[in-house]
């Protein structure tokens, strides 16, 4: 074996933007990304990418992650084709975890296959798993790995390619034979806990920066340097079954055949925090309510967390009410902490009817808020949604007086934040609302290809994949902008935002409404005139795509932020470099696949004739 085999890349993982040609296309995507750290191109890649890369690296495979969406956002002249041409990899993997990536991910996979016809293309993620039978029929897709935990199946695939074995035994794999026959291997790799991996693996990410001499390839989202938020992944899967969530327990049963969540132990979560502290002073966000694995598990975690004495601000989600006992436990464990609560609607009847988070009376929610603030919570953010099942325009607008009621009760001191956004652009595939007609949705798009084509439409009214039994598309758009405008005025009235922020959001809302009408008018022109008419609206479209519901800056967790270099961080570098040298020696000696997964798995599920797909 020569040097090429030692340093050759086995797998290159590419994260694509939502729309591959977003720098050329003119699309009023709307406020679909206002409530997340990413831009409307969803450049934040899934956390599981780092765990896959780390797991494979420990098994002596070279893996590279390239966030092409980030590179394209930060450099208008970034040459994607030229960059891809220069890469050399046995397999190119493209994540399709969230369905809004359907156009960008498929375009990236198609381009990669055209540039590297001898290499293999691999897709993975929850949306890939749901649509695996449709995906594999694209001529430029060779493999789809299904499930929520594909680290070990990916190792099996790379091993089969390396030693030229059959793919029949690769778990969770959908593939096709040379004659085009589609083969769906059993979905049998379903680990019962997540302690076999680090997820996200920040230490791997740091090492990869120095190994490949590119920090830009690994940056998770556009403003990360200004707001370097990190996350802890509590589990894969959830104990709740919220109707509109692709992570609901029934959705995971449909897509991943997982009957219950797989958790990371409190001890592993603490290990993650220790790694984060070596390079970041920014906030640490614990994904999922810490109590969904049981109260005793939460107590164990916060007991261990207290011993760490972390200076970073800690952010937790709540899925159901909490009281003094829980918040006192949090207060004893960290110096600074915040809470995020998604109640989706102020209408307690709808929350219960639609099986959403907090299916309780509003006084229980307010009791939770009161207890959190009394226990030292620095800020509690409340999130509302437009487009939930059976929600009318009047239900949406009732958000504003409810928020004013909370301000009058708890005071306009800025400790409570209010945010509203439309549920879009698509319903999550596999969610109860996507699967079951009883929730009252009319679907405009069902297949992967339909969603892919929808993302190229010029307005988010046309991209939106649904309407409800209570609101049309037009009413959902109107309700979204109307409630956002009223909430913007409420925040200014009580001093929760300054005049400059109010003016910016109002301006962007006004531009968005007017530009939507102008695009509709342009689309009624003769076909030859449509493109130039829309091109004249480029500036307005760009303005309408940001801060049209609220200012993104309102979401940022401000405090002691920034990256830092500590002695612990510096020790990472030589260790990582030595590890790569040792791996190279192992590869020369033929010592491959040294860490095959041996942990607990969920027993195989009898699904009868069902093989997944849509």
What DSSP string describes 239-267? S---TT-TTSHHHHHHHH--SS-EE--HH
pLDDT digits (tens, 9 = 90+) for 124-183: 999 999 999 999 999 999 999 999 999 999 999 999 999 999 999 999 999 999 999 999
List, in sequence order, every beta strand (DSSP E) within 161-277: 173-176, 182-184, 230-233, 235-236, 262-263
Q: What local confidence, expressed as pLDDT, does residue 610 receive?
A: 31
Peptide bond into 425 cis (omega under 30): yes
pLDDT digits (tens, 9 = 90+) for 102-133: 999 999 999 999 999 999 999 999 999 999 99
Element (H or E) spanning 450, and its range? helix 448-454
Domains of the chain: 3-194+566-589 (3.40.50.2300)
Q: What local confidence, expressed as pLDDT, does residue 570 receive?
A: 46
Element (H or E) spanning 15, and its range? strand 9-15
Q: Kindly indicate the confidence band of residue 71, based on its pLDDT and cuts at 50, 70 and 90.
A: very high
Residue 245 has pLDDT above 50, yes or no: yes
Cα atoms in the 13 Å half-sphere on the side-chain side of 174: 23
Residue 38 has pLDDT above 90, yes or no: no
Please check whether residue 356 is in contact with residue 388, taking contact to mean a CB–CB distance below 8 angstroms.
yes
Work out the average pLDDT over 347-360: 92
Residue 424 has pLDDT above 90, yes or no: no
pLDDT digits (tens, 9 = 90+) for 565-600: 454 444 444 444 445 444 443 443 444 455 667 777
Residue 607 has pLDDT above 80, yes or no: no
pLDDT digits (tens, 9 = 90+) for 506-561: 999 999 999 999 999 999 999 889 999 999 999 999 999 999 999 988 887 665 55
Q: What local confidence, expressed as pLDDT, does residue 552 receive?
A: 86
Q: What local confidence, expressed as pLDDT, does residue 574 receive?
A: 41
The alpha carbon of residue 321 and the mean position of all alpha carbons in its chain are separated, in whole angstroms, by: 25
| Backbone angles phi and psi of 138, in degrees to 5 | -70, 135
- The rounded mean pLDDT for the chain is 90
pLDDT digits (tens, 9 = 90+) for 266-317: 999 999 999 999 888 889 999 999 999 999 999 999 999 999 999 999 999 9
pTM of the full predicted structure? 0.91
Q: What local confidence, expressed as pLDDT, does residue 152 receive?
A: 97
Element (H or E) spanning 575, and its range? helix 567-589
Residue 421 has pLDDT above 90, yes or no: yes
């Amino acid at each position: 074996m020569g040097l090429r085999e030692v340093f050759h890349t086995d797998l290159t993982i590419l994260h694509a933007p939502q729309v591959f040609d977003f720098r050329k296309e003119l699309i009023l995507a709307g406020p679909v990304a206002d409530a997340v750290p990413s831009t409307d191109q969803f450049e934040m890649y899934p956390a599981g990418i780092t765990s896959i890369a780390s797991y494979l690296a420990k098994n002596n495979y070279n893996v590279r992650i390239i966030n092409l969406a980030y590179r394209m956002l930060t450099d208008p002249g970034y040459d994607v084709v030229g960059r891809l041409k220069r890469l050399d990899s046995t397999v190119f993997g493209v994540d399709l975890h969230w369905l809004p990536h359907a156009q960008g991910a498929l375009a990236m996979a198609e381009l990669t296959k055209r540039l590297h016809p001898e290499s293999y293309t691999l897709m993975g993620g929850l949306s890939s798993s749901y649509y695996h039978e449709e995906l594999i029929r694209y001529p430029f897709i060779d493999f789809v790995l299904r499930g929520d935990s594909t680290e070990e199946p990916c190792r099996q695939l790379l091993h089969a390619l390396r030693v030229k074995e059959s793919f029949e035994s690769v778990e969770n794999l959908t593939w096709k034979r040379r004659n085009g026959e589609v083969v769906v291997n059993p979905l049998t790799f379903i680990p019962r806990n997540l302690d076999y991996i680090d997820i996200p693996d920040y230490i791997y990410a740091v090492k990869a920066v120095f190994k490949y001499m590119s920090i830009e390839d690994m940056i998770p989202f556009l403003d990360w340097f200004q707001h370097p938020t990190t996350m802890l992944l509590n589990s894969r899967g959830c104990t709740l079954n919220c109707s509109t969530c692709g992570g609901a327990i029934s959705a995971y049963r449909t897509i991943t055949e997982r009957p219950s969540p797989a958790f990371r132990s409190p001890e592993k979560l603490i290990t993650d925090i220790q790694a984060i502290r070596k390079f970041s002073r920014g906030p640490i966000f614990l994904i999922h309510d810490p109590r969904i694995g049981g109260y005793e598990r939460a107590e164990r975690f916060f007991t261990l967390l207290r011993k760490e004495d972390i200076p970073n601000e800690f952010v937790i989600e709540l899925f159901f009410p909490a009281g003094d006992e829980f918040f006192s436990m949090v207060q004893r464990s960290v110096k600074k902490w915040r809470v995020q609560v998604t109640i989706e609607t102020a209408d307690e009847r709808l929350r219960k009817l639609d099986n959403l988070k907090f299916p309780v009376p509003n006084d229980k929610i307010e009791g939770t808020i009161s207890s959190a603030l009394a226990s030292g919570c620095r800020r509690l953010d409340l999130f509302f949604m437009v487009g939930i099942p059976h929600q009318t325009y009047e239900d949406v607008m009732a958000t504003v007086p409810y928020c004013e009621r909370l301000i009058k009760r708890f005071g306009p001191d800025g400790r409570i934040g209010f945010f509203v956004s439309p549920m879009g652009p698509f319903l999550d595939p596999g969610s109860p609302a996507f699967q079951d007609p009883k929730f009252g949705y009319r679907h405009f798009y069902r297949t992967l290809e339909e969603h892919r084509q929808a993302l190229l439409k010029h307005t988010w009214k046309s991209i939106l994949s649904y309407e409800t039994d209570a609101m049309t598309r037009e009413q959902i758009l109107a309700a979204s902008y109307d409630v956002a405008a009223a909430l913007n005025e409420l925040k200014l009235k009580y001093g929760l935002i300054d005049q400059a922020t109010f003016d910016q959001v109002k301006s962007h809302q006004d531009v968005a409404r007017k530009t939507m009408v102008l695009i509709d008018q342009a689309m009624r022109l003769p076909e030859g005139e449509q493109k130039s008419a829309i091109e004249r609206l480029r500036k307005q479209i760009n303005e309408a795509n940001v801060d049209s519901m609220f200012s993104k800056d309102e979401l940022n967790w401000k405090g002691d932020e920034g990256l830092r270099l500590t002695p612990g961080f510096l020790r990472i570098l030589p260790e990582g470099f030595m590890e790569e040298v040792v791996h190279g020696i192992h590869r020369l000696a033929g010592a491959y696949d040294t860490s095959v997964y041996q942990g607990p798995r969920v027993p195989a599920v009898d699904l009868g004739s069902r093989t997944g797909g849509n």
